[in-house]
Amino acid sequence: MTLDVRLLGPLEVRVDGRPVSFPRGNATTILALLLDDAGRVISMGGLVSGVYGDELPLDPEAQIQNTVGVLRRQLGSARGRIETVGRAYRFRIAETELDTLRCKAKESQARTHRREGRSDEAAAVLREALAEWRGPALADLPGRAAGAIGRRLDEYRLILLEQRIDADIDSGRAPAAVEELRQVLAVHDSRQRLVALLMRALHACGRTAEALDAFAALKERLADALGADPNRELVELHTAILRDQPAEPAPAEPPEAIATAAVPAMLPRTTRRFTGRENEILALDRFLTDAGAESGLAAVTGMGGVGKTALAVSWAHRVAHRFPDGQLYFNLRGFDPSAPGARPEDVLGEALAALGVPAERLPAGLDERAGLYRTILAQRRVLIVLDNARDAAHVRPLLTTAPGSFTIVTSRDRLTGLDMSEGAEVVHLGLLSEADAEALLARRLGPERAADDQAAVHRIAAACGRLPLALTLVGSWSAADPALTLNSLADRLASTGNLLNVLVTTDHASDPRAVFDSSYQLLGERDALAFCLFGLHPGPSLTPAALASLMGAPLAEARAALAALAQINLVDRFPGGRYGVHGLMRDYAAECFADEVLEAERRAAALRMLEHYLVAAHRADRRATHRFDPGPPAPGVFTELVVDAPTWFSAEHAVLRGLLHVDAGFGTDLRVWQLGWLLAERSLDRPEALLAVQTPALAAAQRRGDAFEQAVSLGYLGIAQHALGDADAARASVEGAARFAERDGRTWTRGFATYAAAAASGREREAQTLRTRLAALPVDHRDAPRLA
């Protein structure tokens, strides 16, 4: 199967010689974007921005995915050419199958001919490249993105035309070049490179006065239109013609001659307090050794605040001596909350300047700068640190293949694109170990102060969730206030309802809330909602099925959202297909949930969450079936089949306990009480657990004012209190259970109160007999609590 794709004129796609048509609009825009970057990965964000700009529809990412599906269907047997790479896409196509790639190959071939002095052959090859144009590029496609691509490609045509005319003049065809240049200048009369070519051609034909007139006319036009003067190249050419010197352009300097022998040393300062990360450092050392004389590439990924930059910079200083030609460092600001991300072309400009390229010699375009950058580095051993990249596409133009050089990239994105397409070695940076977290605090506080209260240091490290950013911030405050005891600081951190309110600083780069916000603001509507719902879920982890219920969305949508959140390390993947967030991140998600999710949806999400777990638990626990019927779940609840009940209850134990403490304002008291009833039966042999599940269950029953529910919860509480040795509390609870049972009036309720009284009085044989009888007596189905 072969393709023939043409952008240089009306868009044309042929598969095995047969034309393929596409719906006009978003489909052709996406196709143009993919083909314009053929062979490279384009992020979902890049496609959304290219197609919609600032006017985003509802769930733009889903719209992109659907449209890509349309493109694949239309391509038929070539559908596999559009590859999915994580949350991005790539159009795989050979150089011979796309007109723009053929042009670039011919341009490269022409440059080789020019360097070898074969101008005739260079001109011929460039004529072949120019023949690829069948009219204005993509002129038949509407939209801003297609228009921008078309204008850039047509500008490229002018560049090729200038190169071809230059080769013609060198080949002795100056007279023909004069007439052609006058025609082109009639349209582009202020393009200085064309005027320079016209001056050279006229001078070569002996028409020196006309050459000087062309310069004077341009100078006047520039002054009138722009208030500017001709560039240096044109002025030097004008001077040479005045002196009747050969009007030849200066011989093209090899890129290595453009740059002086500058040895950049751009690594930022490292800190002597850097702690731990021995395994990650050893991995980076191994990657460097394995690269040998080849070009090495490694990536360090992880959540915001986990210490990626600190690791990369510290390691770079350790190995800097192995790179005699220098070290480059660039903060790409991919997730910077206070500034836009750095453009690759701007970074390349800084890199070329650091490598000794004079400002006046800097190429204008991204591709030209990237080419010069790679050419200069080809003869050098340089260490390159690309910090805080947005994604793989952000750094790909900055990568080099220079033998012996090594590039290390840091990002909150998992950079799967670099791993898959560039062979990057990836280090995923997690939280510090408990020992390293405490060591980091000790280095900031001072070893003597930390040694005096090691228990407090342990509590502070735990409260900070072993996150380096939080540990460093707390350590700095404590060091600045020696009068504050470490125990008092630990108490303050432990008692706060939201640690983010304590970890506040005016420096956005050090404020955890600002760091997390810079990632959150990049999310689409679906993924933002999914992240917010982690602030409602009690944690520590959830399954895609649980998130689907929280979102009220299909399972596929929940899976896609989790993949997107995991891609930029806002959530972590755990074994068993579960996902969770760091404690500080959960606090931030809870803020987003309260601030950005409407009240009605917060209540609905809480109800769906309770029903999801309650229905699953009820189905998994056969003992619950005789007590109550949950009824059909509410719309949007995804019910999952529990195959292995013990394993499920073990995995969800902390979640089920946490659900009992859902905000009462969400109107979920009935569900909370029912879950507490179900968990009570599983906790009878563990009085601490029984007390823990029935205390919130009783509170829910009291808010509802239901006699049956209060009788049951008080009975269970009495049993737990007796087992824990609190006889007075047990007596009061079972007496309360008896009163509510009489008020309820049902046989089962009175029987349960009698059983609870026996169990809470130590009459075990009697209690067991009553429990056996109770098990055979179903709750009156007419009044049994049910889910609405």
Mean pLDDT to the nearest integer, 300-305:
90
Mean pLDDT to the nearest integer, 238-242:
85
Q: In the prediction, which pLDDT does 250 show? A: 42
User: pLDDT for 387-424, tens place per residue?
Assistant: 999 888 889 889 988 888 999 999 998 888 887 778 88
Tell me how crowded residue 740 is: count the other CB atoms within 10 A of its CB.
21
Read off the pLDDT band of 487 (50, 70, 90).
Answer: confident
- CA–CA distance, 25 with 721 (Å, rounded to integer): 70
CA 52 to chain centre: 20
Read off the pLDDT band of 246 (50, 70, 90).
Answer: low
Q: In the prediction, which pLDDT does 784 show? A: 45
Q: In the prediction, which pLDDT does 251 show? A: 43
User: pLDDT for 328-367, tens place per residue?
Assistant: 999 998 887 556 678 898 899 899 888 888 877 788 778 8
User: pLDDT for 588-645, tens place per residue?
Assistant: 899 889 888 888 999 999 999 999 999 999 888 876 555 777 778 888 999 888 888 8
| Percentage of the chain exceeding pLDDT 90 | 35
User: pLDDT for 500-511, tens place per residue?
Assistant: 777 766 666 667
Q: In the prediction, which pLDDT does 507 show? A: 64
Q: What b-and-e string marks burial along 258-267, b requiring 16 or more CB atoms within 10 Å of the CB?
A: bbeeeebebb
Mean pLDDT to the nearest integer, 155-174:
89
The contacts of residue 95 (CB under 8 Å, 6+ apart) are 101, 102, 105
User: pLDDT for 435-481, tens place per residue?
Assistant: 888 888 888 777 778 787 888 888 888 888 888 888 888 877 777 77
Q: In the prediction, which pLDDT does 367 show? A: 81
Element (H, E) at 477: helix 468-480
- Yes or no: say if 585 and 519 are a contact pair by the CB < 8 Å rule: no
H-helix segments, 652-744: 653-659, 669-681, 687-704, 707-723, 727-744
Checking if the pLDDT of 293 tops 80, the result is no
Q: In the prediction, which pLDDT does 123 show? A: 92
Checking if the pLDDT of 781 tops 60, the result is no
Mean pLDDT to the nearest integer, 772-780:
77
- CA–CA distance, 69 with 83 (Å, rounded to integer): 11
| Percentage of the chain exceeding pLDDT 70 | 93
Read off the pLDDT band of 668 (50, 70, 90).
Answer: very high
- CA–CA distance, 432 with 111 (Å, rounded to integer): 53
Interhelix angle 669-681/687-704, rounded to 10 degrees, is 150
Checking if the pLDDT of 141 tops 60, the result is yes
Tell the burial category of 111 from Cβ atoms under 10 Å away from its Cβ (0-12, 13-18, 19+): middle
- Yes or no: say if 779 and 627 are a contact pair by the CB < 8 Å rule: yes
User: pLDDT for 557-586, tens place per residue?
Assistant: 999 999 999 888 888 888 888 999 888 888
- CA–CA distance, 59 with 273 (Å, rounded to integer): 44
Cut 0.85: pTM above it: no
Choice among 135-139, 270-274, 536-540 with the minimum mean pLDDT: 270-274
Q: In the prediction, which pLDDT does 339 show? A: 61
Read off the pLDDT band of 225 (50, 70, 90).
Answer: low
- CA–CA distance, 624 with 64 (Å, rounded to integer): 46
- CA–CA distance, 532 with 537 (Å, rounded to integer): 9
- Yes or no: say if 179 and 201 are a contact pair by the CB < 8 Å rule: no
User: pLDDT for 44-94, tens place per residue?
Assistant: 877 887 888 767 788 888 899 999 999 999 999 999 999 987 778 889 999
